[in-house]
Amino acid sequence: MNWQARMIAADDDFNGAPLLRGEFALEQGHGAVTGATLSLSAQGVVEAWLNGSPVSDDLLTPGWSSYEWRLRYATYDVTNLIDSTSVLGLALGNGWFRGRLGWSGRGAFYGDELGAFAQLEVTFEDGSTQVVVTDDSWTSGPSAVLANDLYDGETIDARLRDDAWLRPGFASDAWTGVHALDFDTEKLKPYVGPRVTRWNELAVKEITTSPSGKTLVDFGQNLVGWIRVAVQGPEGSDVSIKHAEVLEHGELGTRPLRTALATDRYILSGGDDVFEPTFTFHGFRYAEITGWPGELKPEDLTAVAIGSDLECIGTFRTSDPLLNQFHENVVWGMRGNFVDVPTDCPQRDERLGWTGDIAAFAPTAAFLYNVDSFLSDWLLDLDLEQQHHDGIVGFVIPDVLKYADRDRPTEFGPVDSTAIWSDAAVWVPWTLYQAYGDRDVLKQQFTSMATHVRRVKSLLSPAGVWDGNFQFGDWLDPDAPPEDPANAKADKGVVATACAYHSARIVGETAALLGLTAEQAEFEQIAGDLREAFNREYVNAGVVKSDCTTVYSLAIVFGLLDGADEIFAGNRLAELAAEAGYRISTGFAGTPFIADALTQTGHLDDAYKLLLEKECPSWLYPVTMGATTVWERWDSMLPDGTINPGEMTSFNHYALGAVADWMHRVVGGIAPLTPGYSEVLIAPQPGGGLTEAETALETPHGRIAVSWTVSGDQFTVEVDIPAGVTGVLRLHGEDDQPLEAGHVSATASLPAPVGADT
């Protein structure tokens, strides 16, 4: 791109929300305008208007990337907005660039000055081009936004609204100049992933009064976005809206927000005002309203859900309403945390791109929505951060923690590669390849994948296992104390070494796919050595060190055990699950894999019992407590309705919803035999008393759909396969049946219950 624009900043900061304008006349003598393209970016977040019309519905442009090396720009066709004399107007907010990030209480990690960058290229009938750019001829002025922060909210004074700045000839004494910033245009890169947009709206479900007399609004769904407000009241009136995910003792439950204020304030003009705080977002189901003039009516408020613009491709439903609600919770949790970056949570003073969360959840995400470009974009930043950190994949991407902890030691000890979290460098691109069949992501990320495993190899002990540096381990094991979520039952060296083996094996397979013979041999050797060391150091007659559900789950699913050891491990895993009353006993490391480990070793009934358990801790316990998203902790809310006493508690964390991947493949019955589903395995395995299920997936080759019903001891399956796809239908007690495009109906007998007389 031939950049002629400059990154410009307002001479006055104007409360962190300046307006910038450039006015221009079309060059004459070139004929009619045949095209006009606007390229737009910012240090901060930016919204653009051309001749008073918004350029797009995009939000929070240019999103959050590793700004030190990559700043995205958006491109828009604005041909229909051009006039003979035009005004290009830009509004800036703090966003991720200058707003608060993390729990340190600090912000402005990437820079002190907000900046706008715009280049408008107008093409005429004769082929000539006029270029309009941000430069020091622009002017800047105040907006109606008095404060804005992603964590704390936005304040808007409707008395200051005036659209005159978007029209030709505007002038005001309140306006001043701009100055160019020192900015390297080599950092500018086009969007790879989707933009952030509004994707849903929810009406008020209920308005109530709390025990202390506060006005509370319930939207019936935990979501991410803001509340659009339509209000009329006396000029200067101040309306405040504070957001939270839950109620506690009938009041707004704000303690889990930590220091995030999550409050929007609106100062009324005296006329009919409509407010949307587009320079912030909140995670909330409930809102506390203060200062409302007169009677608050449901139609005055609308919850607006925002997130990256993703295409829904996977669906799932069963005969169990609680299981269906859990799956819906997984979907809403994903959408709320896929706001430009795959974050851990969307509400408190954090909202960071934790690598461990997406490493666990990527297979589920890739089935529910087309996340190929979304996660490919994020992986570019992972690679950049890794390149600038000695091959280490940080805990979060973009890695703002390197700044947040600059003046004090990190609470996690010296930062280095850590299992699952850093393994995202390998697991996420591999997941995208399996889901969509495109090797480009493997080519793009191979150096990053290989660098991660080589870094891990350098961290192994003389015994060949990974047991030295800090590990999150089986984070949030339900038996860990609330104040020490890393204090899990599973030995951290066992977890880390198992994950290292899994990553090395994947990188070896990736090298083979890419025709990299030397690298294939290198990583196959690393994987082989890790497997040998794991069994030598951690396995004794099938017993895996620390003898808990997570270590057996990882050892089984990752293929670390042979023959009799795997049989023993499967039986022991089922025994431990039963001893726990089928309540969850795994954290971040074990939860994505335990149902597969049970199923793979012949304990499908135990997997279903685990899935459908309702007592805490379990996947369905939050559903029985009214949850509409997946929680961070199994007991984020205690059975008595009080919030978990730990300082780290969120009601919208998708990681523990990773079991939905097993639900799609085993309950629903759709799994790829080859990457991208050009060959598919249809193998639903009913259980748990379910009498029916429906699952569908829009693959790169078309829609695959499976539905099944149970009647007595008979199991009937209906399958639809798109043209160009082949597959295998595998049902209990029947020979594998080849599948071609079209519709197939088949019936089989259900397996006898475990322990039944035969």
Catalytic residue ranges: 350, 632
| d(C-alpha 276, C-alpha 161), whole Å | 13
Please identify which residue in the block is written with the tokens 């495109």: 438
Helix H segments across 338-486? 355-368, 372-387, 401-404, 424-436, 440-458
Reply yes or no: is the peptide bond before residue 194 cis, omega within 30 of 0. Answer: no
DSSP summary character for residue 663:
I
Spacing of C-alpha 470 from chain mean position = 25
CA distances for 563 relative to 401, 537, 568, 569, 601, angstroms: 44, 18, 9, 10, 11
- Structure-block tokens of residue 361: 């959840």
Are 491 and 499 in contact, with CB atoms under 8 Å apart?
no
Q: Is 643 left (phi over 0), alpha (psi -120 to 50) or beta?
A: beta
The DSSP element (H or E) to which 244 belongs, if any, is: strand 238-244
| d(C-alpha 741, C-alpha 180), whole Å | 60
Q: List, as one string, the DSSP characters of 715-740.
A: EEEEEEE-TT-EEEE--TTS--EEE-
Residue of 617, 466, 461, 633 lying closest to 549 (CA atoms): 617
Please identify which residue in the block is written with the tokens 């399996």: 434
| d(C-alpha 106, C-alpha 368), whole Å | 35
Q: What is the signed CA dihedral for 9, 12, 14, 18, rounded to 10 degrees?
A: -30
Please identify which residue in the block is written with the tokens 């795994």: 586
31 by DSSP, 3-state: which? coil
Question: What single letter denotes the amino acid at residue 175?
Answer: W
N-term to C-term CA, the chain: 73
Task: Count CB-CB contacts under 10 A for residue 668.
Answer: 30
3-state secondary structure 608-641: HHHHHCCCCCCCCHHHHCCCCCCCCCCCCECCCC
Task: Count CB-CB contacts under 10 A for residue 132.
Answer: 21
> Any idea what the Cα angle at residue 622 is, between residues 484 and 375, rounded to 5°?
75
